[in-house]
Amino acid sequence: MEVQQLDEMTTHESWSGHEMAPNASTGAPCYAPTAEKPVLHLGCGTRPREGSLNVDCVKLPGVDVVWDLNSYPWPFAAGAWHRVLAYHVLEHLDDIVRAVSELHRILAPGGRAEVRVPHMAGRGAWNNPTHRHFFTRSTFDYFKRGHHYNYSFDFAFSDVRCRSVFGVGRSGCLNAFMNPLVNTRLYDWWLWKLIPCAEVDVVLVK
C-alpha cells in the first residue's frame, strides 16, 4: 500500500483495483498524508502530480485512489491534510456545500484547499455537459467565518481568498492588463456581461 493510514487497521479489501484498509471503527477507508505524498490532489484526471496522493473516479495512469467524490464521507483522514488541490472538480459534483464541508473536515488547522472553478461568464463554464454549477468571485465568501449568511452552515473557514482569472493560455500581456479589472466590484456588478473572464481561483484556509 502506497499511503499511510491514519487509524490502526484490522482487515484489507480490494476496491476498484486498489487495496484499501478500512477504518477499524467505521469500516471506511481512511488515507492520511505521508512524507512521499503530503498533498491531496482531488480529481486529478490525466494530470496526476508527483508528490501527491492523486484521486479520480476513473482508474487512469498515475491515479492512486479511485473514488467518486459524490460519495460521502470521502476516504481521507479528518484534520490531517495541510494542502488539498481541487482544480476543476467542484463544478462536476452534485452538492457544492457538502463537498466544501468535506474539504473543511479533512484539512488540518491552518491547512489550505486550492480550488479552481469556471466563472459563470466564461464560455468554458457552459461547454462541458458534465458541469452542474457555475461560480462568481463572491461564491466562496459564504463559507468564510463572519459572513452574514454563513449561519446556515455548520462549518466556516478562517480565510477565503478569491481571484477571477480573465484568460487561460492567452497572451500574458493581455492577462496582466485584464486580471486586475476582473477583480473589481465594477466588474462583478456589470462588466462581466461585456468582458467575460474564464475562471475563479480560490484558497480556503481552515
* Sequence ranges of the domains in the chain: 68-205
Rounded CA gap, 203 and 116, in Å? Answer: 9
Long-range contacts, stretch 46-55, CB < 8 angstroms, 24+ apart: 49/85, 52/85, 53/3
Rounded CA gap, 167 and 27, in Å? Answer: 44
Confidence class for position 23, pLDDT limits 50, 70, 90: low
pLDDT at 91: 94
pLDDT at 3: 42
pLDDT at 5: 37
Q: Report how far Cα 132 is from the mean position of its chain's Cα atoms.
A: 15
> For the structural domain made of 68-205, what CATH number should be given?
3.40.50.150
**Cβ–Cβ under 8 Å, residues 124 and 197:** no
pLDDT at 27: 58
Task: Encode pLDDT of 169-183 as tens digits.
Answer: 655 677 778 888 888
- The whole-chain average pLDDT of the chain stands at 83
Task: Encode pLDDT of 59-100 as tens digits.
Answer: 999 999 999 999 999 999 999 999 999 999 999 999 999 999
Q: Which residues contact 166 (CB under 8 A, 6 or more apart)?
A: 174, 175, 178, 179, 181, 182, 195, 197, 198
φ, ψ dihedrals at 81, nearest 5°: -100, 130
Report whether pLDDT(8) > 50.
Answer: no
Between residues 82 and 26, the one the model is more confident about: 82
Between residues 191 and 67, the one the model is more confident about: 67
Between residues 120 and 83, the one the model is more confident about: 83
